[in-house]
Structure 1
């Protein structure tokens, strides 16, 4: 099979980039794989997520050009109007503001037909719409691959594709197929967007670890992009502040980079818990942190999936997560992890203290986590990809 993934970039820090790198690399062992990146601001760096040299990467911003300053201003205005009342704007205005022009789509059609691809996969909502728009003009079958929840895309006010429901309802049915991350999302894509051949395929683990944590170190871990709102950094600090007042020998270890680093350090300082918190930058050796911790906290307000959760499970690290679509799909509450009602800081803190005080409970959840992690094994996930593509 000759497969092309279309995305902004694969060479930036983020879960989408990591998962795309893993899937593309694994598929390249059996198929011809191209990743078309339309954003040239990021230079090629295969080492970032160990992207295979067998993956053909094309960075080309002459097909879908970067938006001009004027276009960006128009987008901001349209988004502001959308946020006030998403019923105000019609399809024509939304398409002209957010999506490629006819000339850009023509260049993309020419590129894809010249590449003689069997499958063209738009990565995330924007590129899913892009490939849907040209579905009748290219020889390849076109698919969307969504990396966040339906809630995040369409029901989370002012975020992602808020107010673009009418576009997705019109164009997503033009796809030959669509990959989503949870069964609840698949139901919504089928029922609301009327997407054809929608399937749930989990994100694969990016590594295997023969070494598991013994859950003995007094470290509580957080891993993720430093994005206050999405990742709930404010909630994380609140939870740990509650915990450390009772268990002052325990440390919070944070691993990640992002634009809200300063906000995070300010939140920590306001609580006066600086001596109990350590912050480390993104690393490709993240398994070392999982293995040297005893509990992982996931305080995200929304997660399409939760790659950090499955990675922690692979290392036997007990996870306590706020309940949203991603963690709900992954965690068997009380067996392979713990789910907490979203936003209940006190309940998360109390459950963290329960695990701190009960080593047997930690070990039991650790065992369940390792068993659950087998469902996200890379070979299993790639086989599902192969079967799905061949079925279309």
Structure 2
């Protein structure tokens, strides 16, 4: 199969980058794997997390998809995002189209659909905030789509001005359009269902180390003494 993992950055320090690389290294043993990232200021460094040379890296120049000129439409989208982040006034089902267009403009979406379909991927996997964008594209894509979260429900939805802050209505509309939506724990599965009525699947992130022994501490805490990889 031809698999694309779409994330913001890959050659940078971070848990998501490590886990994405670990997954890609395993998948590329049997499949054609591409990691697609936005234009990245970090130089390519496959040694950071031991990325296989068989993995393709597609550096996307976002300027090819987004018009950053300060047109009236650009200014309106900027204003909608700022007002929603502060007051949540567009975080209502009847305003979903307005907020969706402010976050991910329709013309930009059309360019992404065209580009991704031209690559003939069988599966597209996204991480974190890109899961919402992939959900917006999913109905027009030929590939199967998977959203893959790397933080807890509260970390994405309850932290002001971070990731999905005041975007619950958009999530309710677009995340169900993905073929699968992966979360890290049963607690997250419970919260997505309880607060947003969204069904998810639990997959624990693979670890990139071997625990040599477990050290017990007072008050019930433990710590693993690990050998990194």
TM-score (norm 2): 0.81
Q: Which structure 2 residue ranges, 5 or more long, are not aligned? A: none
Q: Partner residue of 2:158?
A: 155
Cα offset for 1:172? 0.6
The answer on 1:116 being equivalent to 2:130 is: no
The answer on 1:169 being equivalent to 2:172 is: yes
Q: Partner residue of 2:143?
A: 140
Please give the alpha-carbon distance, in whole angstroms, between the structure 2 residues aligned to 1:124 and 1:193: 17
Q: Partner residue of 1:349?
A: none
Q: Is the contact between residue 78 and residue 102 of structure 2 (CA under 8 Å) also seen in structure 1?
A: no
Please give the alpha-carbon distance, in whole angstroms, between the structure 2 residues aligned to 1:85 and 1:167: 16
**Per the alignment, do residues 48 and 74 of structure 1 end up closer, same or farther by CA in structure 2, a change over 3 Å counting?**
farther
Cα offset for 1:109? 1.8
Larger radius of gyration: 1
Q: Is the contact between residue 64 and residue 108 of structure 1 (CA under 8 Å) also seen in structure 2?
A: no
Q: Partner residue of 1:31?
A: 31
**Per the alignment, do residues 52 and 74 of structure 1 end up closer, same or farther by CA in structure 2, a change over 3 Å counting?**
farther
Q: Which structure 1 residue ranges, 5 or more long, are not aligned? A: 209-313, 321-332, 339-364, 379-392
Q: Is the contact between residue 33 and residue 56 of structure 2 (CA under 8 Å) also seen in structure 1?
A: yes
Q: Partner residue of 1:92?
A: 97
Please give the alpha-carbon distance, in whole angstroms, between the structure 1 residues aligned to 2:213 and 2:198: 37
Cα deviation digits, residues 218-266 of structure 1 (max 9, x gap): xxxxxxxxxxxxxxxxxxxxxxxxxxxxxxxxxxxxxxxxxxxxxxxxx
Please give the alpha-carbon distance, in whole angstroms, between the structure 2 residues aligned to 1:91 and 1:76: 15
Cα offset for 1:39? 2.6
Please give the alpha-carbon distance, in whole angstroms, between the structure 2 residues aligned to 1:157 and 1:62: 25
Q: Partner residue of 1:189?
A: 192
Q: Which has the higher helix share?
A: 1
The answer on 1:180 being equivalent to 2:183 is: yes
Cα deviation digits, residues 122-164 of structure 1 (max 9, x gap): 2112x11222112121221111001111111112233321111
Q: Partner residue of 2:20?
A: 20
Q: Secondary structure of 2:138's match? A: coil
Q: Which has the higher strand share?
A: 2
**Per the alignment, do residues 83 and 118 of structure 1 end up closer, same or farther by CA in structure 2, a change over 3 Å counting?**
closer
